[in-house]
Structure formats: structure tokens, C-alpha cells
């Protein structure tokens, strides 16, 4: 992808974030909702399916454009950004692994601003999807799915859900992946999580009770679900590294204004220097992984390095910002206060920091 395209995706996200997201983010949080119109507007700007081919309604603008747009969007509203991240990831999964009918049915809808959900995690299957208990059994030409998923981002508002279930016995090779349209009988929202941060992003548990799907609902090969999940998460980690970097920028910006207003001494300005350094390093690591993915070369190790570093750096930056702001750092509704609560989860979802260290150390030992 050329430099001008990458620049333009970041710019359009930055403008949207500054004009529409940042001024409204405290209100979204109070309402525990980002209006659907916001996602339609992101869709109109090509930001809900950035790396999905144009022939499928996406922007076809590549991974670097996506990462840069994600950083800019997250600076405006972290909750909006997580829905954008997961929807982009689901769009890519369907574009990559779906049948022609699945691609045509799903990708244009997500590109337009409806949500795509990624339903992998369960009570006993968070870091290790191999512990999954949800089952899918083929009966009279239909898949019958039973089980529960937990902590599924916007699982209640998604137009399409990608759902993992066990089709073929124990272990990772027994997992398959299914495409589930909203409103499928047997699918219900069991509960809503009450979270510390990202409060405008719904996180739900889902129940599947004898949910019947046509045989064609299988996404990718039978038994190929684990591989699809790992490939999706590798790419998703670039998105979450970028989201964290953007949240850190929001906190940094508030701290910077505060220090400027006070004519800060070196105690404060040196802190700003360290914050700026970590945010730049986080940005570069996320972009390095994005460049590799865009080139079609292995990037799993670099994506994990980016996610582990960017999410931990952003957490540190947000904490520093709150400290710099003093008592003002604790007042509800401030950008740094919200950022500190919002950023914490980036170290948990799409693989915890420990899971990233497993990937990184395995890669390092392999050489
Ligand atoms: C706000 C939010 C949104 C989410 N959205 C989604 C979503 O859309 N779709 C979805 O499928 N999931 C989603 N998740 C779930 C998320 O992916 C899991 O929470 C995450 O994978 C961790 O799993 P767990 O919470 O079960 O923790 P566990 O796996 O139980 O881990 C607990 C602790 O043990 C550590 N640990 C685990 N295994 C190891 C190991 N081998 N070595 C060292 N340490 C280890 C972990 O790092 C962690 O600190 C979301 C979670 C949150 C909080």
C-alpha cells in the first residue's frame, strides 16, 4: 500500500476522533453505549473493514493503514475502537476463510458499520482455547450447537458472529469455526458484564441451546478452528497494540496540556519525555508487525512483541498522566482518568501479557 493511502486513513480517523469521538466519549461511557450512527459513520469512512478487499465492500487499504487508523480512533474513544478492532478482525477472517457466499453475505455488512463478534472464550477456555466445551454435532444435515461463551465484545449487537465449537473430540484439532447470523433461534444473551473500563463497549456471555445451523455455516475446514483462531489473533494483536497506543496518546495529551499550563519543572517534563519515548516505541513496534503482515511474511512473534510492549507501556503512560494531573487526574470524565481504566483490559484480551511472553520466548528459543 502506498504512503499516501496510509496517511489518508490515519488522517480521516484522526479527524473523526477529534470531532466526533473525543467530545462524546464521556457521554458514551455514562450511557454505556456508543450509538449505532457512530459505527455507520466509521463505515462510511472505510474504517470498519480497512484490510478487507474492495471487491467485498472493504477498503483494501492494508494492515498499516488499519493500525494507524486504529491508533487515531482509540485516542478519541477506546470503546468505539474495540468494536472497530473486533469487526475488522471478523471481516478479515471471513474474507480469508469464508466460502464465496459467506464473504458476500458478511463483508459488505460489516464494512457498512454493523458489528462482527468473535466468540471464542469460555469459562474454562480463555488463554487456552483447547479447554473449550461448546459442542457442534452434525444431525440430519444440520449443525446443532450447545454451550456458553463469555466475555464476548458486542455479542448482543453483532450482525454476524464467528463462533468456535468442538466438532471432533478433545484437543485443538477437534475445534471448528461457524458463522452465525444475528437472531438465529437458540442463540441468546445470558448476561452483560459490569466492567472497570471500556464501559461503552458491551461485553456479554452468550448461550447456545440446540442452535441449529445449515451445514454450510461451517467457516473454513472442519477441524480447522484452532488454526483460524490463532491466525486471527495474531493479526488482532496488531490492532490491540495500536488501540493501547492510542489510549496512551489520549492520556499523554491531557498531561502535556497540564504541564504546559504550569510551566513544568524537570520533575514533570522528564516524565513527559519518558511517556513520549514509550508511546513512540509502541507505535513503531505495532507498525513493524503491520508491515510484516502486509508483506505476507511471518509476523506472529512481532505482533506479540508489539502487543506486550504497547499495552504495558500505555498502562504505564496512563498512570503517569494521572499522577502528573494530581487531584484532577482522579476526576471522573477526564481523558486520563478514563484512559487509565480503559487501557487495563488491553493487557488481557486477545492474549494476556503472559500469553504474549509464551509466544515471544518460544520464538526466541527457536532462533
Ligand atoms: C473486556 C473484554 C472483552 C473481551 N472480548 C472478547 C471477545 O470479543 N471474544 C472472546 O473470545 N474473548 C473475549 N475476551 C476474553 C479474553 O480473551 C480472555 O479474558 C483472555 O483470553 C484471558 O482469559 P481468562 O480471562 O480466562 O484468563 P485465564 O486464561 O484464566 O488466565 C488467568 C491468568 O493466568 C495467566 N495464565 C494463563 N495461562 C498461562 C500460562 N500458560 N503461563 C503463564 N500465565 C498464564 C493469564 O495471563 C492470567 O494472568 C474479552 C475479555 C475482556 C476482559
Q: Residue whose CA is closest, atom 42 of ligand 1?
A: 354
The β-bridge partners of 153 are: 203
361 lines ligand 1 (CB under 6 A): no
> Which set of grid coordinates corresponds to residue 215?
451445514
Which numbered atom of ligand 1 lies nearest the CA of 353?
Answer: 47
Residue 161's SS3 state is strand
Superfamily of domain 226-366: Butyryl-CoA Dehydrogenase, subunit A, domain 3 (1.20.140.10)
- State in Å: Cα 98 to ligand 1 middle: 26
**Can you give the pLDDT at residue 319?**
98
The Cα–Cα gap between 363 and 367 comes to 6
Which numbered atom of ligand 1 lies nearest the CA of 197?
Answer: 1
* Residue 266 confidence (pLDDT) above 90: no
Is-same-fold flag (3-113; 226-366)? Answer: no
The Cα–Cα gap between 4 and 50 comes to 15
Q: Where are the domains of the chain?
A: 3-113, 117-223, 226-366
φ, ψ at 213 (rounded to 5°): -130, 150
Fold held by 117-223: Butyryl-CoA Dehydrogenase, subunit A; domain 2 (2.40.110)
32 is annotated as an active-site residue: no
Among residues 29, 294, 337, 350, the one annotated as catalytic is: 350
148 lines ligand 1 (CB under 6 A): no
* Residue 333 confidence (pLDDT) above 90: no
- State in Å: Cα 3 to ligand 1 middle: 36
Superfamily of domain 3-113: Acyl-CoA dehydrogenase/oxidase, N-terminal domain (1.10.540.10)
- State in Å: Cα 358 to ligand 1 middle: 14
Percent of the chain with pLDDT over 70: 100
**Can you give the pLDDT at residue 6?**
87
Higher-pLDDT residue of 338, 265: 338
153 lines ligand 1 (CB under 6 A): yes
**Can you give the pLDDT at residue 136?**
98
198 lines ligand 1 (CB under 6 A): yes
Question: What sign for the dihedral angle of Cα 258, 261, 262, 266?
Answer: positive
> Which set of grid coordinates corresponds to residue 5?
493511502
Which numbered atom of ligand 1 lies nearest the CA of 354?
Answer: 47
> Which of 367, 277, 261 shows the shortest CA–CA distance to 324?
261
Q: Residue whose CA is closest, atom 36 of ligand 1?
A: 354
359 lines ligand 1 (CB under 6 A): no
Q: Residue whose CA is closest, atom 23 of ligand 1?
A: 126
* Mean of the per-residue pLDDT values of the chain: 96
The Cα–Cα gap between 102 and 108 comes to 11
Question: Model confidence over 201-219: pLDDT tens digits?
Answer: 999 999 999 999 999 999 9
Query: Which of 178, 348, 361, 362 to probe ligand 1 with, by most ligand atoms within 8 A of CB?
Result: 348
- State in Å: Cα 66 to ligand 1 middle: 24
Q: Residue whose CA is closest, atom 6 of ligand 1?
A: 152
DSSP 3-state percent helix, strand, coil across the chain (nearest 5): 60, 15, 25
Which residues, 6 or more positions from 354, have their beta carbon under 8 angstroms from its beta carbon?
127
127 lines ligand 1 (CB under 6 A): yes
- State in Å: Cα 310 to ligand 1 middle: 17
* Residue 155 confidence (pLDDT) above 90: yes
Question: Model confidence over 56-102: pLDDT tens digits?
Answer: 999 999 999 999 999 999 999 999 999 999 999 999 999 999 999 99
118 lines ligand 1 (CB under 6 A): yes
DSSP 80: H
- State in Å: Cα 14 to ligand 1 middle: 30
243 lines ligand 1 (CB under 6 A): no
**Can you give the pLDDT at residue 360?**
97
Which numbered atom of ligand 1 lies nearest the CA of 125?
Answer: 26
* Residue 263 confidence (pLDDT) above 80: no
> Which of 172, 217, 39 shows the shortest CA–CA distance to 112?
39
Question: Model confidence over 267-308: pLDDT tens digits?
Answer: 899 999 999 999 999 999 999 999 999 999 999 999 999 999
90 lines ligand 1 (CB under 6 A): no
Amino acid at each position: 500500500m502506498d504512503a499516501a493511502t496510509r496517511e489518508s486513513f490515519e488522517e480521516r480517523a484522526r479527524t473523526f476522533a477529534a470531532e466526533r469521538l473525543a467530545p462524546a466519549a464521556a457521554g458514551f461511557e455514562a450511557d454505556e453505549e456508543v450509538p449505532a450512527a457512530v459505527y455507520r459513520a466509521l463505515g462510511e469512512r472505510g474504517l470498519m473493514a480497512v484490510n478487507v478487499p474492495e471487491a467485498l465492500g472493504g477498503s483494501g487499504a492494508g494492515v498499516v493503514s488499519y493500525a494507524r487508523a486504529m491508533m487515531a480512533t482509540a485516542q478519541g474513544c477506546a470503546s468505539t475502537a474495540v468494536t472497530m478492532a473486533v469487526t475488522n478482525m471478523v471481516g478479515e477472517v471471513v474474507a480469508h476463510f469464508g466460502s464465496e457466499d459467506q464473504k458476500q453475505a458478511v463483508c459488505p455488512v460489516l464494512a457498512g458499520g454493523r458489528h462482527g463478534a468473535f466468540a471464542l472464550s469460555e469459562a474454562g477456555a480463555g488463554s487456552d482455547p483447547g479447554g473449550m466445551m461448546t459442542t457442534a454435532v452434525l444431525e440430519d444435515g444440520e449443525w446443532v450447537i450447545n454451550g456458553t461463551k463469555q466475555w464476548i465484545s458486542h455479542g448482543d449487537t453483532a450482525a454476524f458472529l464467528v463462533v468456535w465449537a468442538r466438532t471432533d473430540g478433545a484437543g485443538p484439532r477437534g475445534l471448528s469455526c461457524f458463522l452465525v447470523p444475528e437472531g438465529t433461534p437458540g442463540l441468546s444473551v445470558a448476561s452483560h458484564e459490569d466492567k472497570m473500563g471500556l464501559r461503552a463497549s458491551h461485553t456479554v456471555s452468550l448461550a447456545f441451546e440446540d442452535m441449529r445451523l445449515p451445514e454450510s455455516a461451517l467457516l473454513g475446514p472442519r477441524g480447522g478452528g484452532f488454526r483460524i483462531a490463532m491466525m486471527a489473533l495474531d493479526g488482532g494483536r496488531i490492532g490491540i497494540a495500536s488501540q493501547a497506543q492510542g489510549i496512551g496518546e489520549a492520556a499523554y495529551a491531557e498531561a502535556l496540556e497540564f504541564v504546559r499550563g504550569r510551566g513544568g519543572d524537570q520533575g514533570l517534563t522528564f516524565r513527559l519525555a519518558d511517556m513520549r519515548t514509550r508511546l513512540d516505541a509502541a507505535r513503531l513496534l505495532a507498525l513493524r508487525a503491520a508491515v510484516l503482515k502486509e508483506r505476507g511474511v511471518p509476523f506472529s512473534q512481532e505482533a506479540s512483541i508489539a502487543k506486550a510492549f504497547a499495552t504495558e507501556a500505555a498502562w504505564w503512560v496512563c498512570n503517569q498522566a494521572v499522577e502528573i494531573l494530581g487531584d484532577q487526574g482522579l476526576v471522573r470524565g477526564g481523558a486520563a482518568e478514563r484512559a487509565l481504566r480503559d487501557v487495563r483490559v488491553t493487557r488481557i484480551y486477545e492474549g494476556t501479557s503472559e500469553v504474549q511472553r509464551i509466544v515471544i520466548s518460544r520464538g526466541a528459543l527457536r532462533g
